[in-house]
Amino acid sequence: MTQVCTPETWLTLYCLPHAGGSARPYGRLETAVPRGVRVVPLELPGHGTRLRERLLRDIGQVVTEVIRLMGEDEGRPFALFGHSFGALVAYETTRRLRELGTPPELLLVSGRTSPVWPLSHEPLHMLPDPLFTAGLSRMGGIPQALLANPSVLQVYLPSLRADLRMVETYAHTHSEPLDVPIAAFAGLRDRLTDPAGMEAWAELTEQPFDLTLLREGHFFLDEPEFLTALAGRLGRIGPPAVLAATESGPTAGPEH
């Protein structure tokens, strides 16, 4: 993937949602990220605006679909960000992209302990709907707005269950660490993560790793504390020197 920049956009941030979630909440990040960062939420089949499409039940298939959705922007510097289930998908996508020779500039993960860490809860995906929902509710793994609307919740249960099945049956089989930096974010009141499990992401990369602990629960993507931390971490990537030179004024040399 050739690294191409323009003064308007020097980085594309692809975002992957939590289990059962849609791309919609990520649209709000646009106003929080640094100038020149373009936010592109990715919608998976069976979720959000693609609700009527067939759900994917294998994480390898999800990765293939994510890369297909990214394909139209091939050639630009990019980063991957995923929350909870999306963090696992972003990690596996980074692995696949590394094999293809097109890794991201940065992998950002939140609300999910390291894939090499033990599962944070007893498996739920095979339970009947009432027990499945109750289990997610106890762990704080389902938005309160969804719990408050049972008819809407019923619509999202199939995607929630399919995504959680992938999380609960996942086995980490990779032996080599990534050569991509990883930035992790977690809420101190999140019952699905803990600091040690989040620190374990450091084992998966040879590049720099940093962890930001927030005073939040599992869902914090709208919180000012997270938005500030995200903007700060993205700002450390660039913009690249070629872009900075372009913005500071003309340089000597022939025109092309």
- By annotation, the residues acting in catalysis are 84
Structure tokens at 219: 């869902």
Sheet holding 11-16, edge to edge: 37-41, 11-16, 78-83, 106-110, 182-187, 209-214
Residue appearing with tokens 């977690």: 186
Give, in degrees to the nearest 5, the angle at Cα 90 between 84 and 96.
Answer: 150
Which tokens go with 115?
A: 């894939």
What residues have CB less than 8 Å from 227, skipping those under 6 apart?
29, 32
Asked if residues 217 and 140 have their Cβ atoms less than 8 Å apart, the reply is yes
* Cα–Cα dist 113/88, whole Å: 9
Count CA within 13 A, CB hemisphere, residue 119.
15
- In this structure, the chain runs to a length of 256
